[in-house]
Amino acid sequence: MTDVVLERQFAAPIEKVFDYISSPEKVLVWWGPESVTVRNADLNFGQVGPWTSEMHAKDGTIFKVSGEVTEVDPPHSVIFTWAWHDDTDVRGHESQVQIVLAKQGGGTNFTLIHRNLASDESAQSHTAGWTSSIGRLEAEF
């Protein structure tokens, strides 16, 4: 199994960054790569429980992913499971995402760890997707 670790420094206080990674309205601002539109999403990472998201590509392809928020520690971290759905809506291999925030100077150190990805190819694809999403998040600060 393969892990992905991505780090960024945001010029925003930890509480503001946590709000963007936990409140449903603000998650929608940055969730998903720039090339997709998010629809039919329930993205409340501020509380333990299920979540789901459908990302629609310009060519009409739909990417559905879902999981369970397993831990929330405001304003420091969120942990959730992650699994893509196939064309018949069956969940595939489950992995885990952890977002960790730490105060650094007047800003925030952001670390995303995506654990237990099924392959190196999957890790490369997720690295590209998360990098695009995090870029969208960074633009908010």
Residue 40's pLDDT is 85
Percent of the chain exceeding pLDDT 70 equals: 100
Rounded to whole angstroms, the Cα distance separating 53 from 62 reads 10
* 140: nearest Cα among 5, 3, 31: 31
Cα 122 to Cα 115: distance, rounded to the nearest angstrom: 11
Question: pLDDT (tens digit, 9 = 90+) per residue, 71-122?
Answer: 999 999 999 999 999 999 999 999 999 999 999 999 999 999 999 999 999 9
Assign domain 2-138 to its CATH architecture: 2-Layer Sandwich (3.30)
